[in-house]
Structure 1
């Protein structure tokens, strides 16, 4: 699962929605204590809201659940795509909740705003044994079940561009990376591919947070609790990033580029470096191109020690406790996260990884697996779930500040603004 950006819901709206939830789930309620549906059986139509991407199409999701429906003729799965303008699951959910029409199951949601609406799965052994289950707990409760994990802090590169620029080794520090970008620009390439939307902020964190998590694997946990200053920790990173924009190593007009177009530009050979999560591997494998793609972990700002790979749960599922089909919901999520064929399909389709579930996709996928394996012994930093998740709206606020650097904003002011926003959030 990739970094998701969440939108804050107004305080009044949240209060109304929570009141509605209490009313709906109190009194008569929708579910019995054992989690079965009103009829006592695993039947009904399960509405599942999912991410739709170039890899995860509606047809893919339909094919994925087809064996489940065949084995459970009393259950039908209705695949729903996000309806918000940005196409994000976590932006769509508040709209569905406000309309009184939340899904039964959701894939890829990380927003803590919807936690009051979710079923606690701590009593389900198949859920507590899922990958990264302990890291996803929130106040001791488990609301998320994942199929695996995804690496975030990766930099993919055009091997032909490196050869033409005279670069013989992958960079191990940000200083080396910056020097390589100068060579790539001289060789006629846009050194680093980025885009607007959520991509700008996501890439910034993927590029620079590994420097912090190498010495403190729980950096995200501490930052989420307000115990870190981003102006202090990420100030030098923002300055470095701004210098890349000023030198033309990043397109100054990149904010007008959409995520899918940025991916296409890299795969067409226009740019040489592409910071992105491991889900990009599936897109690279499917693309027609005349060059090979390599990958390395985002290097350190300082010493070339083994960097941390930021990892996040891959394809996590949640069940809404207001659903009228609790038994069917649980059976579906259990299938999606434990059935060997279903798990392997999802791992391969969106390039997630899980111990004991190897799959063959491409040489690039094997390279990512090796980076994860090398980082497994004390060099993985958890992010994106449970208590490791930043407050709702953080990605939007930081994204706004990072994007201000493209229009003449100050790196110092940008990070101080993020700190001020974090300080203002309820603890």
Structure 2
């Protein structure tokens, strides 16, 4: 049976279809807000004075630089000072940066943690009202909301996405041809058969790494397929009583460990980080790589256009709805930002300006989000970026988006997932004990907030 993604419509997506990718949860804007809610009028006027907007961003994501350059072309009085750090360091140092008297105007903030309770962020509700962001699909902003009890998905708005991601699997077409794979897998069983074909042919089946935890993409992609996604979403959004110790998570963790034991992952998986994973794959090492649309341009450049495919993690049964990790690349305005109004103007410009939206697509391969009535940017037909936009619309149509496990609490990525998955992949911990340790860390981390 041909996989569903070979029967998809042409690249030219409608804005309405693209907006469907933002269906993490159709949560209406909340009416309650933590005590740190901003008050008073805000300005939506373009900045007229000479200012410098400071941005603290993540290493390896250049889109803010391109957007800043274009914004300065249109508003020459506004300059930018962009600093970057690794995902892990930024995650660890965000509270200190936010609390500093020299806090940036905009910061890449993947998870809210205690930042709302601690009064470290600017409440974006006034800008939501002033700019009319109610035209955005509610699900687009759901994960950026937090209520009085620290539960995400509802309440006031604290973050804003610059591009909306979708994760899937990249396949090296030359290796696929070499080992006799003629189409992308439509089910997990077909995927596992392809992994074994590659192993039998002496080819590395999966290029991934766990030095910095990037292999979590593989683990969560498996968990997503083995049961209803809602319990996992509830857990990631910190709903009371939520747990990772579910049948779906156990099956996912068990399969992940089995894949390592069968030799489907690199033998030195725990020594490979994200950057090395991508460079290894684009150098031809590995049949498959679990990654996001943000690397679509890199893979096209490294392997050559037409030499790779990008497809969604297949479900258990052919034709089942797709479930995939995907959310906004979220940023926040610190409470101590010196140019909050100008920074909010910049964020709104990113979502509404045609040139800015084109930059988001060209650089990240992500949907620009925003009002679904607005025209989509153009993309090169046949490119992986075009495919990523197509897949995003399909996941959205299936209401299949989830957040990332790494965003569940402020400390869980480095404090639990990364080290315990290293143990899981070397069979030094059982899948049951892995989930138990994850839940215990999760509860302890939440209790400390």
Question: What is the rounded CA distance, in whole Å, between the counterparts of 1:160 and 1:87 in structure 2?
Answer: 34
Q: Are positions 1:392 and 2:392 aligned together?
A: no
Q: Are positions 1:79 and 2:82 aligned together?
A: yes
Question: What is the rounded CA distance, in whole Å, between the counterparts of 2:271 and 2:293 in structure 1?
Answer: 24
Question: What is the rounded CA distance, in whole Å, between the counterparts of 1:63 and 1:313 in structure 2?
Answer: 21
Normalised TM-score (structure 1):
0.80
In structure 2, the CA distance between the partners of 1:43 and 1:142, relative to structure 1 (3 Å rule), is farther
| Structure 2 equivalent of residue 219 of structure 1 | 232
Structure 2: state its 5+ residue gaps.
1-34, 148-154
* Count of matched residue positions in the alignment of Structure 1 and Structure 2: 386
SS state at 1:379 partner: coil
Work out which of the residue numbers 189, 194, 198 in structure 1 matches 2:213. 198
Q: Which whole-Å deviations, capped at 9, do the CAs of 1:136-168 have from their partners, x for residues lacking one?
A: 22121011222442112x111112222222223
| Structure 2 equivalent of residue 164 of structure 1 | 178
Instruction: Please say which of residues 246-255 and 117-126 is displaced more in the overlay.
Output: 117-126
Q: Which whole-Å deviations, capped at 9, do the CAs of 1:194-213 have from their partners, x for residues lacking one?
A: 1121302233113432433x
| Structure 2 equivalent of residue 241 of structure 1 | 256
- How far apart are residue 250 of structure 1 and its match? 0.7
Question: What is the rounded CA distance, in whole Å, between the counterparts of 1:288 and 1:168 in structure 2?
Answer: 18
Question: What is the rounded CA distance, in whole Å, between the counterparts of 1:200 and 1:216 in structure 2?
Answer: 20
| Structure 1 equivalent of residue 247 of structure 2 | 232
Q: Which whole-Å deviations, capped at 9, do the CAs of 1:339-367 have from their partners, x for residues lacking one?
A: 22112202220110145323214432232
Are the aligned partners of 2:221 and 2:325 in contact in 1 as well (CA < 8 Å)?
no
Work out which of the residue numbers 57, 63, 70 in structure 2 matches 1:50. 57
SS state at 2:185 partner: coil
In structure 2, the CA distance between the partners of 1:375 and 1:358, relative to structure 1 (3 Å rule), is same
Are the aligned partners of 1:159 and 1:294 in contact in 2 as well (CA < 8 Å)?
yes
RMSD of aligned residue pairs (Cα, Å): 3.0
User: How do 1:270-285 residues align onto structure 2 when only pairs under 5 Å count?
Assistant: 270-285=285-300
SS state at 1:170 partner: coil
Question: What is the rounded CA distance, in whole Å, between the counterparts of 1:320 and 1:371 in structure 2?
Answer: 33
Normalised TM-score (structure 2):
0.77
Q: Are positions 1:65 and 2:68 aligned together?
A: yes
Q: Are positions 1:346 and 2:353 aligned together?
A: no
Q: Which whole-Å deviations, capped at 9, do the CAs of 1:393-427 have from their partners, x for residues lacking one?
A: 22231222211123322222111211222333328
Q: Are positions 1:406 and 2:407 aligned together?
A: no
- How far apart are residue 378 of structure 1 and its match? 3.1
Question: What is the rounded CA distance, in whole Å, between the counterparts of 1:34 and 1:359 in structure 2?
Answer: 37
| Structure 1 equivalent of residue 396 of structure 2 | 376
